[in-house]
Homo-oligomer: A and B are copies of this chain.
Amino acid sequence: MKIVTSVVEMIDLARTCRSGGSILALVPTMGALHRGHLSLLSIAGEHADCTVMSVFVNPTQFGPDEDYLKYPRTFDADCRAAESAGCDILFAPPVEEMYPPGHRTSVSVSGITERLCGASRPTHFRGVTTVVLKLFNIVNPHVAIFGAKDAQQATVIKRMVVDLHCPTRVIVGPIVREDDGLALSSRNGYLTPAERAVAPLIHRGLGNAEALFAGGERHADVLRDAVRNECAQSELIDPEYVEIVDQLTLEPLSLITSSALLAIACRMKESATRLIDNTLLGAVP
Contact = CB atoms under 8 A, between A and B. Distances in A.
Interface string A108-148: 11111000000000000000010001100110100000000
Name the prevailing secondary structure of the A interface residues: mixed
A85 interface: no
A152 to B, nearest CB: 13
A164 B108 contact: no
Contact of A165 (B102, B109, B134, B159): B134
Interface string A1-38: 00000010001000000000000000000000000000
A111 B107 CA distance: 15
Nearest to A165: B137
A282 interface: no
A106 B104 CA distance: 14
Interface residues of A, number: 27
A104 B166 contact: no
17 contacts: A103-B163, A104-B109, A104-B112, A104-B159, A105-B107, A105-B109, A105-B159, A106-B107, A106-B108, A106-B110, A107-B107, A107-B108, A107-B164, A108-B108, A137-B164, A137-B165, A137-B167
Contact of A167 (B11, B103, B109): B11
A105 B137 contact: no
Copies of the protein in its oligomer: 2
Contact of A108 (B7, B105, B134): B105
Contacts of A112: 104
A198 interface: no
Interface in A152-204: 159-160, 163-167
Contact of A160 (B7, B11, B105, B108): B105
The 7 closest A-B pairs by CB, nearest first: A105-B163, A137-B165, A104-B110, A105-B160, A105-B109, A104-B109, A138-B165
Contacts of A11: 165, 167
